[in-house]
Amino acid sequence: MGKINREDMLELTRRMTLKRNCFDRIAGAYMDEEGFVDGTFNKHFQKLSAKDQQINLDIAKTIPFSETNVQLKEYDFEEADRKPGSIWQLLMALKECGLKNDAMLDVFYEEFGSRYHADGSYAVYFLHGSCDVPLKANDKESLWESEEVYQFLICAVCPVNGDYEPGAPECGFLFPAFKDRSSDTERIDIYEADGDSRRAEDLRKILLGRS
């Protein structure tokens, strides 16, 4: 397990505002407590109302803005975790297609629902984002040119009430990891609101095949 640089995460959260929004698409599924899908959605982020954009930005921001190396921890995908048919391969494909493939999302929801132990109804939210990561000089000032475009997924798992109103995320992840101001597809940052719990163990098993 590696260490997450807090400054890397803060750099991301600065792009998660209405004025500097880095997200282009949001998708998700509403799940019952037994893990079956009640309904799904897949929308262009900018087509949401300003109010709904803010609600979803707040959900997404919870993941990178959480307490690094306590609530948000970095994990490696070992070589065996990256084999064909793995969750890693599915996440890579979802990132590359920008969440525009509902069939692949359905595969994830089904796998997630069959292995996640929830205390009630919940939602799985996916957001696809991208941001330019500018070069920086030795004095940390920007050189005003793009070093790379970091393309990423944020997933947040939130409890929901009968009106599908989401509560604060209980767990989630950022993929690929944002490490040393760059994309690292062999690592993932996993979030758990209460630190190390049953939900965190479930999420690690789903994503990495191990607790």
pLDDT of residue 141: 55
* Cα separation, 200 vs 211, whole angstroms: 8
Tell me which residues of the chain have a pLDDT lower than 50: none
Residue 88 half-sphere exposure toward CB, CA atoms < 13 A? 22
Task: Tell me the per-residue pLDDT of 73-125, one tens digit each, with 9 for 90 and over.
Answer: 999 999 989 999 999 999 999 999 999 999 999 999 999 999 998 889 999 99
Q: In what order do the strands lie in the sheet with 187-192?
A: 37-44, 23-31, 122-136, 142-159, 171-175, 187-192, 72-76
pLDDT of residue 138: 54
Q: What is the pTM of this model?
A: 0.92
pLDDT of residue 146: 53
